[in-house]
Every structure is written in structure tokens, then in C-alpha cells.
Amino acid sequence: MSDPAQVLRDHQPSKAFFVGIDSDGCIFDSMEIKHKECFAPMFIKHWNLQAVSKYAREVWEFVNLYSKTRGCNRFPALVSAIKYLGKRPETLARNVSMPDLSALEDWISRESKLGNSTLDAEVAGGNTGLAPVKIWSDAVNASVKDIVHGVPPFPMVRETLEKINESADAMCISQTPVDALEREWEEHGIREFVSTIAGQERGTKVQHLEMAAKGKYPSDKILMIGDAPGDLKAAKANGALFYPINPGSEEACWQQLYDEALDKFFSGQYAGAYEKELEDAFEASLPETPTWK
């Protein structure tokens, strides 16, 4: 079986700069619809959380949309959500038992590419403890395919991608499955602006940037654009720069990137005070503590 991440290792610079761009919630306004209409309902249905559905939904949205873990991989998100939900007084008062996710936690601890293909292989190899996780994950994918289309990129995305392409090699860096990403970028006619689409099958965002860009471009010529702390972490882990698309002010952020931030990046004036100001505003936009605490 060929390594899906090889395309990232093989990437060679064609321009002086590199820009990595997240997809869900960053390029597309799709985080809300995916989590509220696809993930949360399947979370409640497949883990038998009907008796605490209101709180299960609230927990799922906190973990995946409205906190420092926004945009994380679905499998650690599932573990976090179950842990939060199990500790809520409303859950305890209703005597709702939480599913045993020890098989999932074990898999997360040893698997570097947390995706549907590695999960499928694990279940096919006889790991029965992961079978319910596969059923849930497949149901989420089917729901996303059924419901999420016709969600265009944020305003100014296309113009900004064109501007990026003038001076930089660009790549999509995401934790969404590759086939969903390819489908969405094709549907909206922006696939041509990125050389490669890196999804969950090709590793973590930290690994994506490391394989595709680190050591191939000067670190001050690598920029990661994203809407989640995982994007910031990927940038920092690789010594790269970060531009935030702040949840709730996405359109203003894309406008600022087009009008001002890209010019600063390309002229070497981005690092330092300018980047720090943007990062501080980003950090302030996502809480650490749950709203119900």
C-alpha cells in the first residue's frame, strides 16, 4: 500500500514562499453546518445519548466549534466530548451511562494518521472495540455528503487565493477526509489554486507542514492560515508564521489578509508585533472553559 503522505514529502518549491490553508471554517463557512447538522446528530444517535441530547449537543459544539479544541480531529473530539458529557451533573442525575471508548483511546495513542482508512484497516484486522467508532464515523461521512453542499467560500477567498498564487506555492492542510475536501474545492472552482490537498489520511497538520515545507523554504517565508488552535500549533511547531481567520469575524479577516497581511508577509514585515497582535485577538476569541462550568 503506497503512503498517502508521500506526495507531501515529494513537494518541491516552485516559488519563494509557501502558504498552507485550512479548509473547514477557514475557506468554507462549513463548520457550523457540519457539526450542528451532521456530527452532533450522529453523536447522539450512535452513542445512545438521546436522554441527554440537549447536553450532548452543547458539549459537541463546545469541543468542536467554540473552544480551544475547535477544528481538532474527529476521533480525539469524540473522546473529549464523552468525557465532558459524563461529568455533567445533568447526565449523572439522569443515570445515563457513557460508552466505553478505551479501544479508541488506545488506537489514538499509537496511530499517527487518524483517518477512516486506518480505522477501517484496524476493524478489518479484528479490533472489535473500534467497530462502533467506524459505524459512527461512516454515518458522519454519509451525512456530510448528503447535507453539506452549496456552501461557498467566504467572501474574498478567491481573490486572496489568486494573490497568494502570484508569489507562493499553496496547499490545503486539513483534518477533513481528502475525498470530502476534493469534492468541496472542485464544487466551488478553487481546486486550481492549491497544488495538493492534505487531509487526515496524510497525517496531522503539524506533519503536513513539516513534510511539505519545513527545510524547503525559509521559516519566515512559510505562512499557515487557519481558524483553529491546531492551525496555530502546526505553524509554531514548524517555526512558521500564522494568520488567523477568527471564528465570528471571518469576512473581516479575509479582507484584512487580502488588503494588508499578505503584503506584509511577502515584504518580510509580518513577523513580530504585527503577527503577535493578530494571535492575541485569535486566542481571545476561543475560550478554554466550558460555558456550563
pLDDT of residue 177: 87
Distance separating alpha carbons of residues 5 and 243, to the nearest angstrom: 24
**Which residue do the cell numbers 508521500 mark?**
6
- CA 115 remoteness from chain centre: 12
Write down the pLDDT at residue 71.
86
Residue 181's pLDDT is: 95
Tell me which residues of the chain have a pLDDT lower than 70.
Answer: 1
Complete DSSP assignment for 7-60? HHHT---SSSEEEEE--BTTTBS-HHHIIIIIIHHHHHHHTT-GGGHHHHHHHH
**Predicted confidence (pLDDT) per residue in 251-268, tens digit:** 999 999 999 999 999 999
Query: What pLDDT, on a 0 to 100 scale, did the predictor assign at position 170?
Result: 98
Are 101 and 79 in contact by the 8 Å Cβ rule? The answer is: yes
At 112 the pLDDT is 85
Break the chain into its structural domains and give their ranges.
6-29+153-285, 31-147
CA 271, CA 238: separation in Å to the nearest integer? 14
Cell of 246: 477568527
CATH H superfamily, domain 6-29+153-285: HAD superfamily/HAD-like (3.40.50.1000)
**pLDDT for res 239:** 98
